[in-house]
Amino acid sequence: MMRECYHKNILSTRISKGIVDILLVVGLIVSIVSGRSTDTSWASFHCLASMAWYALILVHIWQHWKMTKSLLKWNVVKRNKITLLMNVAFLLMTLSIILFIAEVNPRIVHIHHVTAHVFWAVIIVHMITKAKQFVTCFRN
């Protein structure tokens, strides 16, 4: 019984959150570097790596679901503007991916690239502002 509970909550531990955060940083770098390719195929390295990275982002959001939900309250938004901006940028990035699913053309590629650059900038600011919390994931 105890083991079953452990498996249900494995992604909620501090160390799991830290590992997901490290993988997100690596994924960000891979996504940026591989995005320089002109291949727009769904089988391109950029698309495959970015889909894995997107899945990790969803895990990260799930790990911080209480915080994400609390952004619906004004007093929480006032204290967490960067996190709110991060969520808005994520939604815009999701929209650009949905546009890709509908059709790939130069205009949509341009929208995706602009959205991606904004997303990356917001992610970097988010990482800097959350660095202290990240370090606590590995403290005893």
What pLDDT tens digit does each residue of the chain (140 aa) get? Answer: 444 444 457 888 888 888 999 999 999 999 888 877 666 677 788 889 999 999 999 999 999 888 888 878 888 878 888 888 888 999 999 999 898 888 878 898 889 889 999 999 999 998 888 888 777 767 76
* CB < 8 Å & 24+ apart, contacts of 86-91: 86/122, 86/123, 86/126, 89/115, 89/118, 89/119, 89/122, 89/123, 90/57, 90/61, 90/119
Amino acid letter, 39: D
Return the closest-CA partner of residue 119 out of 90, 84, 81, 80. Answer: 90
Domain total of the chain: 1
Q: Residues 92, 115: contact at Cβ < 8 Å?
A: yes
Place of tokens 């959001």: 61
Kindly write down the DSSP assignment for every residue of 38-73, as one continuous string: ----TTSHHHHHHHHHHHHHHHHHHHTHHHHHHTTS
pLDDT digits 0-9 by tens, 99-124 = 888 887 889 888 988 999 999 999 99
Q: Tell whether pTM > 0.75.
A: yes
Judge whether 52 and 27 are in contact, CB under 8 Å.
yes
